[in-house]
């Protein structure tokens, strides 16, 4: 995608999972061919900014070579599966969906779909655990929750806006969830639309003709999800850190890669954070210091956690104001009481990447930020 500061290359990370070596590869690619700025997106992906037109193919090849993208864009678009950042390591979740995430991606990539999926088609898995992701927009939300010693699933189809269907599926095998997901993807591809725009009869067919039954929406992950989290292994802990505005430079990426090598893995979160999974408790201080060295905050009361912004005038031709400078000001002025409402600064009315639970301030024609209710 071409933007005001050059080409932007997006890497879809199923479940936010990324290996330390891949973080190093992103750092090298952004340093060599980009502006040295990598952003965490609202779907827990990464995007590399400011690549010159003549270097796009080289940078894209480097990312494909590192296993961060499918060389075929139509297939790469099918890899959009969001999962909780701690899944598989979280003692509070109903079940792990780490394996299911991989199986879903493989099935979507292998499926014989009747056409391309919409660029923002996505599946969201939530496990009612410590850090929830159910508020991330998508075409299908599948939520695992504990029920009488088993795991029960509920689903919402087209949950980016008003869901077309939302109800209890009951206990399901992974194969059944994969069938439902691929069926929905095939119908979206056939109609050339997102799930929210499918005809009601099609949605009814996907949901097994169960009547529309609203169930409680999962809430967004807490803005202050940073810091240490219990691990399924008592001698380990996971640590989440947040870089300011979800932006990282090459040095920060490399330090995070080093931190990841001290644990059992790394995940990027839809709230602009990075989780280091399964660190031995005696390495916690060391890993926390690495996160701080990478520019990440692990303090839940830090004002940065309640503020987000789109690229604004710094990186987007539509930006009417310097959203990044304004967000810095908001973060520095936040009262340190841990109860601040989340604020998102948007450079125009498109509101790219705005979290669902944030108060959105939109730059008007004069570059002043106005509340969402007054914005166009």
- Would you tell me which residues interact with ligand SF4 (CB under 6 A)? 310-312, 316, 318-319, 346-348, 350-352
Query: Which stretches within 160-249 are classed as H helix?
Result: 174-191, 200-206
| Nearest residue (CB) to ligand SF4, 239 versus 316 | 316
Least distance in Å: CB of 363 to ligand SF4?
Answer: 7
How would you classify residue 309: left for phi > 0, otherwise alpha for psi between -120 and 50, otherwise beta?
beta
Question: Who's near 149: CB < 8 A, 6+ residues apart?
Answer: none
Closest residue to ligand SF4 using C-beta atoms: 347
| Nearest residue (CB) to ligand SF4, 284 versus 310 | 310
**Partners of 156 in the β-ladder:** 141, 166
Cα 364 from Cα 67, distance rounded (Å):
41
Least distance in Å: CB of 309 to ligand SF4?
Answer: 8
Least distance in Å: CB of 150 to ligand SF4?
Answer: 43
| Nearest residue (CB) to ligand SF4, 129 versus 347 | 347
| Nearest residue (CB) to ligand SF4, 129 versus 319 | 319
Confirm if 321 and 284 have CB atoms less than 8 A apart.
Answer: no
| Nearest residue (CB) to ligand SF4, 81 versus 327 | 327
Q: How many CB atoms lie within 10 A of CB 355?
A: 21
Cα 36 from Cα 32, distance rounded (Å):
8
Question: Who's near 204: CB < 8 A, 6+ residues apart?
Answer: 165
Least distance in Å: CB of 139 to ligand SF4?
Answer: 21
| Nearest residue (CB) to ligand SF4, 49 versus 95 | 49
User: Sheet of 150-157: strands edge to edge?
Assistant: 81-82, 123-126, 140-147, 150-157, 165-170
Strands 343-346, 307-309: pairing kind:
parallel
Confirm if 86 and 277 have CB atoms less than 8 A apart.
Answer: yes
| Nearest residue (CB) to ligand SF4, 186 versus 316 | 316
Q: How many CB atoms lie within 10 A of CB 112?
A: 7
Least distance in Å: CB of 14 to ligand SF4?
Answer: 24
């Amino acid at each position: 995608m071409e933007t005001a500061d050059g080409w932007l290359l997006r890497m879809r990370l199923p479940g936010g999972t990324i290996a330390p070596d891949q973080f190093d590869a992103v750092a090298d690619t952004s340093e060599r061919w980009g502006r040295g700025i990598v952003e965490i997106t609202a779907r827990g992906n990464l995007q590399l900014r400011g690549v010159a037109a003549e270097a796009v193919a080289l940078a894209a090849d480097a990312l494909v070579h590192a296993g961060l993208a499918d060389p075929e864009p139509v297939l790469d678009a099918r890899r959009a599966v969001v999962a909780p950042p701690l899944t598989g390591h979280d003692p509070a979740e109903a079940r792990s969906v780490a394996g299911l995430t991989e199986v879903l991606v493989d099935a979507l990539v292998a499926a014989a779909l009747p056409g391309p999926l919409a660029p923002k088609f996505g599946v969201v898995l939530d496990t009612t655990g410590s850090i929830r992701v159910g508020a991330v927009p998508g075409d299908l939300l599948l939520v695992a929750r504990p029920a009488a010693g088993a795991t029960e699933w509920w689903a919402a189809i087209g949950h980016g806006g008003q869901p077309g269907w939302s109800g209890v599926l009951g206990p399901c095998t992974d194969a059944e969830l994969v069938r439902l997901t691929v069926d929905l993807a095939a119908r979206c591809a056939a109609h050339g639309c997102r799930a929210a725009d499918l005809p009601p009869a099609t949605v009814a067919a996907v949901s097994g003709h169960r009547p529309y039954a609203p169930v409680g929406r999962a809430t967004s992950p807490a803005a202050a999800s940073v810091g240490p989290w219990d691990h399924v292994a008592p001698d380990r802990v996971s640590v989440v850190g947040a870089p300011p505005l979800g932006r990282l430079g090459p040095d920060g990426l490399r330090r995070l890669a080093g931190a990841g090598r001290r644990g059992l893995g790394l995940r990027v979160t839809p709230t602009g954070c990075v989780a280091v999974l399964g660190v031995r408790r005696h390495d916690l201080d060391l890993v926390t210091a690495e996160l701080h060295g990478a520019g990440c905050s692990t303090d839940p009361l830090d004002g940065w956690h309640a503020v987000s912004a789109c690229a604004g005038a710094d990186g987007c031709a539509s930006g009417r104001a310097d959203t990044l400078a304004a967000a810095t000001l908001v973060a520095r002025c936040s009262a340190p009481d841990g109860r601040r409402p989340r604020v998102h600064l948007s450079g125009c009315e498109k509101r790219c990447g705005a979290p669902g639970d944030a108060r959105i301030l939109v730059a008007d024609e004069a570059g002043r930020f106005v509340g969402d209710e007054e914005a166009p």
